[in-house]
Structure 1
Amino acid sequence: MIVSTLHASMLLVGCFIFLVALRVPVAFALGIATIPVVLLDLRLTPFLIMDRMFQSYNSFILLAVPFFLLAANLMNSGKTTDKLIELARVLTGWMPGGLGQVNVAVSMLFAGISGSSTADAAGCGKILIPAMTKQGYDPRFAIAITACSSVMGVIIPPSILMVVWGGVMSISVGALFLAGAIPGFLIAAALMATVYGYAKVYDYPIAVRPSWADFWHAFKGAALALLTPVFVIGGIVGGIVTPTESAIIAAFYSFVLGCFVYRTISPWQLVDVLYDTGRFASISLFAIGTASVFGWMLSFYNVPRLIVEALTAYEFGVFGTSLLIAALFLFFGLFIDAIPTIIILGTVLFPVASAAGIHPIVFAIIGIVSLAFGLVTPPYGLCLLISAAIGKMNVVHVLRDVVIILIPMVFILLLLILFPEIILWLPKLLMPKSVI
């Protein structure tokens, strides 16, 4: 029998939603949801599906994912995070809401090294949430600001999501890295302004009044770690290395810092770091494989083409289409991990964005920023779950503060939609050929 487009869509989406409702992990749910259609349609075979899954891994650029994860885990285990926190303390600790400002600043610094929001939430949260609570900050605020600031990990370059997006959509990863810099800093500024407002309302203290000697000592301690984004982004933008090679350099450099310079990683810790990296990388890469199969099956039944025709018929224009794209990514980010969403929803909406005249890099950044917010919104909200677990508090009790902190961040997203040149300015300046 040959399955129609309508029946295939209903089976695929219906089975996926049913499995997610049963709390089956998303990566497995995407793969299992394809089985009924394969069994019913004579044109499909299990071997064809397996072939499509393995083809999704035939991408050199995806090797960057485990190496960026390894770099982040080495930084956390090597106490490099502590040195970044000390630098952030002297840079922003003198401001109202000192430790809250430090929380935002260290997330911004860590984002420039790791490319992972979850590593940021775990590494920085373990230190800053207890410290903030001890200094009299409301635990709910400490958890919320830690979770919300950690989303910069996938916006400020380097970013694992940008590597995946560039690989799937065939867009320059270097241009995406540059495009994410200014939006990331704008989100950091919005977060700092929010912390300032909290400090004035709740009379939160400053953390420290540093001297020039304190600043020099902190900068000297963190200087070697701060060279990581210089090697990674500078190498890619300068055309010296590929994104995968830059990830390998970041991992090797983090290894040298932790094992030989700071000498804070023992051989046994290194084994644990490699195990954790392998486990998390396998989860991410397995999700890429199953999401690719799911997306290919949607394409096989012409679902993306029908969606494109339906949406382009309404002629929303550039602004309206951008809003719709952001809303869809925000909605899907509530329930699904960012990487499968990029592969499934991103590939479906890419022709819609192109038809509306939205630049591919602008489309990518709008999608990634929207998905980043999904890391702190239930029921998925992985960064929020990690931060709440560290703070030993139920997620429900933290939601009010998360919403308050997210509001100015959403305004930044709207600003990017209104003025896309904010996104394109750096790529046009430093990599003009990639923006054509």
Structure 2
Amino acid sequence: MTVVLLLVTIGALLLLRVPVAFAFLGPALAYLVLTGASLGLAMRLVTNSTASFPLLAVPLFVLLGVMANRAGIADRLFDFALALFGRVRGGLGYVTVGVSLGFSWMSGSAVADAAALSKVEIPAMIRNGYERTFGLGVVGSSALIAPVMPPSIPAVIYAGLAAVSTGALFAASVAPALLMALGLCVVVFFWVRRQPEIVHTGFSWSKLAETSKRVAAPLLAPVIILGGILGGLFTPTEAAAVGAFYMLVLGFAYRTLKLRDLPGVFAEAVMTTAAIMLIVSSASILGYVLSRERVPQELSELVLGFTENATVFLLLVALLMLVLGTVVDATAVLVLVVPILMPIAMRLEVDPIVLGVLMILSLMIGLLTPPVGTVLYVLSSVMDVPVGEVFKGSLPFLVPLVLVCLLIIFVPEFVTWLPNQLGL
């Protein structure tokens, strides 16, 4: 009864649009006070949850993404992709997916990608005869590639919670992210076939050569970051620091960043990191409360009483993540749910790497789904359109994303092949 009351209170606070961290923190602290526990315990839980070396990569990857955004890397990628695919029918749709894929190697945030890229891509599509609804859908769905493709902030958090190799999780995420991009391009292809009025942009070898030069240095970033991690040259934390420094150098070289811009860059990175860490710490206190009430054990017995089939378990996990991802921040879900699901996964011999990739992708789909899909609201705010219009445009693009989830569930070797080949 105590747990039910706790969860109802949290649900009510979320419905009232209270920030996730405070919706978790308030009821959890109230429980500790009412049960006579020391608030010093809460401080220890907060300290232990954030004093983690793997989590040190989070602020550095956030800084990397902010640096890349401020350095104008997305604009350079857009110009290059447009020069390459502009003459293809529906080229701007493919360009949007391609730019999101390229930028995802430098940014681990779907929300940041959606906010940054929508300002450039959607107006360009509207000018060339594309429906605004389509533009909203393809930009929103493409932004979901960023948290799946390494470097991924959710992957760093999951790796720390599940005690698995961040490098192995990064490697395992590459194939699903590429397949996501391919699936979105297939949707674009079929949509364009029914739009004969779409305007083609011109093609010029000189323009392609010019934009290729402008994008050559930024495209080295994923080679440095992921290559360094998988090659054993850097830890993920060190790779994030090197990547952020590389973006800083590019920003100064391109003169898109100046010394006077750095306080704003660091302030944005600090604000984003603080929000993530506040969620992690508040969720750790709530996790302690749930553990004290034996929720993990009860849930484990319930699941194992329902099925001992690993595939069915993964289907249930995907469904749970899809639902939770629509109402709760992905970071909070991971911090709460991973400690509960990991023992069940171990008993069913589910690879924790497969579980992690599936959980992250399923949670990201929730960002594009009502009632609290964050990407929906970001695009609605940036483009000043109703949330319903964004969701309507996104619906066709959710199909290939769900299919990738099903492929991970039924063919887990699809995820584990690359880490195994790399010996991770």
TM range (shorter): over 0.9
Shift of 1:102: 0.6
In structure 2, which of residues 378, 399, 407 is the aligned counterpart of residue 407 of structure 1? 399
Q: Answer whether contact 1:113 1:229 (CA < 8 A) is retained.
A: yes
Mapped pair 1:25 → 2:19 = yes
| C-alpha separation in 2, matches of 1:209 and 1:188 | 24
| C-alpha separation in 1, matches of 2:209 and 2:341 | 48
| C-alpha separation in 2, matches of 1:96 and 1:308 | 51
- 2:106 aligns with 113
Mapped pair 1:300 → 2:288 = no
| C-alpha separation in 2, matches of 1:426 and 1:273 | 35
- 1:284 aligns with 276
- 1:60 aligns with 53
Shift of 1:363: 0.3
Identity %: 35
Q: In structure 1, what residue type is equivalent to 2:6?
A: L
TM-score, normalization by structure 2? 0.96
Shift of 1:212: 4.3
SS at match of 2:257: coil
Q: Structure 1 pair 151/249, CA: closer, same or farther in 2 (3 Å)?
A: same
- 1:397 aligns with 389
- 2:121 aligns with 128
- 2:9 aligns with 15
In structure 1, which of residues 225, 233, 236 is the aligned counterpart of residue 226 of structure 2? 233
| C-alpha separation in 2, matches of 1:245 and 1:426 | 22
TM-score, normalization by structure 1? 0.94
What pairs with 1:161-176 in structure 2 (closer than 5 Å)? 161-176=154-169
Q: In structure 1, what residue type is equivalent to 2:369?
A: T
| C-alpha separation in 1, matches of 2:412 and 2:308 | 17
| C-alpha separation in 2, matches of 1:413 and 1:53 | 33
| C-alpha separation in 2, matches of 1:87 and 1:410 | 30
Deviations 1:287-328 (A, max 9, x none): 111011111221122210110111011225121111000000
Q: Answer whether contact 2:135 2:393 (CA < 8 A) is retained.
A: no
Shift of 1:55: 0.9
| C-alpha separation in 2, matches of 1:413 and 1:92 | 29
- 1:190 aligns with 183
Q: Answer whether contact 2:221 2:243 (CA < 8 A) is retained.
A: yes
Shift of 1:209: 4.8
What pairs with 1:348-367 in structure 2 (closer than 5 Å)? 348-367=340-359
Cα RMSD of the aligned pairs, angstroms, is: 1.5
Shift of 1:202: 2.1
Q: Answer whether contact 1:337 1:380 (CA < 8 A) is retained.
A: no
SS at match of 1:51: helix
Q: Answer whether contact 2:128 2:199 (CA < 8 A) is retained.
A: no
| C-alpha separation in 2, matches of 1:148 and 1:204 | 24
- 1:370 aligns with 362
Where does structure 1 lack aligned partners over 5 or more consecutive residues? 1-5
| C-alpha separation in 2, matches of 1:252 and 1:375 | 30
Q: Answer whether contact 2:379 2:390 (CA < 8 A) is retained.
A: no
In structure 2, which of residues 312, 321, 343 is the aligned counterpart of residue 320 of structure 1? 312
SS at match of 1:34: helix
Q: Answer whether contact 1:11 1:33 (CA < 8 A) is retained.
A: no
Q: Answer whether contact 2:83 2:207 (CA < 8 A) is retained.
A: yes
In structure 2, which of residues 9, 31, 34 is the aligned counterpart of residue 40 of structure 1? 34
Q: Structure 1 pair 207/120, CA: closer, same or farther in 2 (3 Å)?
A: farther
Q: In structure 2, what residue type is equivalent to 1:225?
A: P
Q: In structure 2, what residue type is equivalent to 1:123?
A: A
| C-alpha separation in 1, matches of 2:244 and 2:102 | 17
| C-alpha separation in 1, matches of 2:262 and 2:128 | 33
Q: Answer whether contact 1:103 1:145 (CA < 8 A) is retained.
A: yes
Shift of 1:123: 1.5
Q: Structure 1 pair 103/204, CA: closer, same or farther in 2 (3 Å)?
A: farther
Instruction: Give the count of matched residue pairs.
Output: 424
| C-alpha separation in 2, matches of 1:73 and 1:334 | 25
Q: In structure 2, what residue type is equivalent to 1:311?
A: V
Q: Structure 1 pair 391/253, CA: closer, same or farther in 2 (3 Å)?
A: same
